Copies of this chain bind each other. A is one copy, B any other.
Amino acid sequence: MNGGAISADGAESGRRAQAKEERRSRIVRAARDLIRETGDTDLSMRMIAKRAGVSLTTPYNLFGSKRAVVLAVFEDERDFVVRFGRLQAANALDRIFDAHDLGMRYFIEDPDFYRTLWKALLNTQGADSTGLATPERLERSRAAWRALLEAAQDEGLLEPAISADLLERSLSSFANGTMLSWAMGAVSTEALGPTTALGYALALRGAATAAGAALLQARILRCQAQLAGD
């Protein structure tokens, strides 16, 4: 029944599975290129299929919906969590903002591309509506952030009485809200970085010890100054 062996890392190696995998990535690449070249326009399933050299029904077999294809493009572009561990900053709070910078860089360096992606991901016509990331991806990312927050607690910069889990949720909600405004055009690309950083700093300072609060106060004022030049 199960064609082909399954190797250690879960990748199937049968010829059938391999061909399927190749079709998958051809579709993802086609979608990515179309967005890169034409933005929103021509990002239709018929176009994607034509570009990928497959039939219109194939993306539906492999992904299920247009939204799922776009989500695959999104996650394909972001090897975010991988670089997450390599943050060098001295204290945990600075590492948090370095991580934030890391994440923001994608959007700032390629705004048109990611804006299109985001807008497409917001379309929740289908019943499933799997959020803005694959469950596994989401969990990995959340765990990484939680680790940073817990480190900050261990270093005595954040109050241990405030749940790192809930704090992570708050930061993530804040980021999503700002991205939403950005995708809709209410926040400019230049303001995106400082705006999210300010929100992070405020929320973190709300959970900070005296030592942490001092560090964050400086950052808040810096973000404010950046945003003042508008």
Question: Which A positions have Cβ atoms within 8 angstroms of B?
Answer: 119, 122-125, 129, 131-132, 161-163, 166-167, 169-170, 172-178, 180-181, 183-186, 195, 198-199, 201-208, 216, 220-221, 224, 227
Contacts and interface: CB of A to CB of B under 8 A. Distances in A.
Question: How many copies of this chain?
Answer: 2
Contacts of A181: 131, 173, 176
A167 B202 contact: yes
Contacts of A216: 206
Contact of A224 (B163, B178, B180): B163
- Say whether chain A's binding surface is mostly helix, strand, loop, or mixed: helix
A148 B123 CA distance: 34
A153 to B, nearest CB: 14
Nearest to A185: B129
Contacts of A227: 166
Contact of A178 (B177, B195, B198, B199): B177
Nearest to A128: B185
Contacts of A198: 166, 170
Contacts of A207: 202, 205, 220
A199 B170 contact: yes
A182 to B, nearest CB: 10
Nearest to A127: B40
Among A132, A163, A206, A220: residue with most chain B CB under 10 A: A206
Given A122-B124, A170-B202, A206-B201, A221 B161 contact: yes
Contacts of A172: 177
B220 A206 contact: yes
Contacts of A132: 184
Contacts of A180: 173, 176-177, 180
Contacts of A119: 124, 129
Across the A-B interface, the 5 shortest Cβ-Cβ residue pairs: A177-B177, A205-B206, A202-B206, A173-B177, A176-B177
